[in-house]
Amino acid sequence: MSERIYNFSPGPATLPPSVLQEAATDIVNFHDKGIGLIELSHRSKEFMAVAEETEGLIRELLQVPDNYKVLFLQGGASSQFYMVPMNLLGTGKKATYLNTGAWSKKAIKEAKLFGDIKVAYSSEESTYNRVPTDDDYSVATESEYLYFVTNNTIYGTQFADMPKSDTMLVADMSSDILSRPVDVSRFGIIFAGAQKNMGPAGVTVVILRDDLLDCNAETVPTMLRYKTHADKDSMFNTPPCFSIYCVGRVMNWLKEQGGVAAMEKINQRKAGILYDAIDGTDFYRGHAEKASRSLMNISFNLPTPELEARFISEAAAVGFDGLKGHRSIGGCRASIYNAFPEEGVQKLVDFMADFAEKNG
């Protein structure tokens, strides 16, 4: 077997090797039962136990209050762009959105199909290089919720602190969920695609306050109602069984690391190593303003596009994969989610220093 490379991809992203090894065994012979994990009926007692354990670990790690549901849905986080307003808004109802990147912009477009949407802040003109402070915007009167993306993968920005608002918060946490403690009780809905910090692609975790289950209009299709899935414990239709299983294994791994608070310290240390390398030379330039910098996705540029292309190519040749920046801003991007090892960050920094010396 070839030596593992360092996967800096923004998603699907690197997973703990121990989880991959466990899944490799269980996908062929689950718990020595003579049947593969992906062959199990989703209604079997074996898989029901998997789903219950996964939910329980998420609740434990995020300290989810009892009056919240944890749902395992499909369609990616992108499906939540319309499910949220479809379930929470209706004729004449308002919501306020913060436009801090490509994913919030897509969510705004979908939300406008269902309600009166006020965009209270946008950093689009500065290529989304920052997120707002509370003083940069005001929430529209009578808004049902304030919607924002906690971490922006493309641009490398992140809310260091969650908005302070009396209006209910709704957040897309796809790229930084479980990377730091969060007060779930301040949110009406939190959702996240699994493929960055939680597991493989295929399942979207939605954490939803109970009282919101009956908000939708009768015209909302059955499959697109949160209540449909809450009433059936995410088993209304066949769920993405393998992805749910893997999320559970990653949650178990995260618990072994010391939980979310411990992971936050690790993430701060990893990001600090890389940002120090960027700030220590004029050869590299970070895209995000310092106060808005992400601990998960670090976007940066070199002096010229030609040098960026050479950097990405030479990095790939020595085992650093996925460093090409998003096409909308170019440059480079290192995604260092929970499971990304600190030694990989240090080795990238060493490579960066050597590349700058040779090409500066």
Cβ atoms of residues 274 and 51 within 8 Å: no
What is the mean predicted confidence (pLDDT) over 172-180?
98
What would the 3-class secondary structure string for 35-78 be?
CCHHHCCCCCHHHHHHHHHHHHHHHHHHCCCCCEEEEEECCHHH
- Residues ≥6 apart with Cβ < 8 Å to 63: 181, 184
Residues 114-148: tens digit of each pLDDT:
999 999 999 999 999 999 999 999 999 999 999 99
CA-closest candidate to residue 7, choices 200, 144, 240: 200
SS3 109: helix
CA-closest candidate to residue 193, choices 206, 210, 183: 206
Using pLDDT thresholds of 50, 70 and 90, give the confidence band for residue 1.
very low
pLDDT at 261 over 70: yes
Cβ atoms of residues 348 and 321 within 8 Å: no
Residues classed as catalytic: 103, 172, 196
The torsion region of residue 178 among left (phi > 0), alpha (psi -120 to 50) and beta comes to left
Residues 75-94: tens digit of each pLDDT:
999 999 999 999 999 878 99
Share of residues in the chain with pLDDT > 70 (%): 99
Task: For the chain, list the domains and their CATH numbers.
Answer: 17-256 (3.40.640.10), 259-359 (3.90.1150.10)
- The answer to which of 260-264, 313-317, 326-330 has the lowest mean pLDDT is 326-330
Cβ atoms of residues 350 and 320 within 8 Å: no
Residue 108 phi/psi, 5-degree rounding, is: -65, -45
Between 329 and 143, the higher pLDDT residue: 143
Mean pLDDT of the chain: 96
360: Cα separation from own chain's centroid = 35
Structure tokens at 37: 């994990």
Using pLDDT thresholds of 50, 70 and 90, give the confidence band for residue 2.
low
pLDDT at 44 over 70: yes
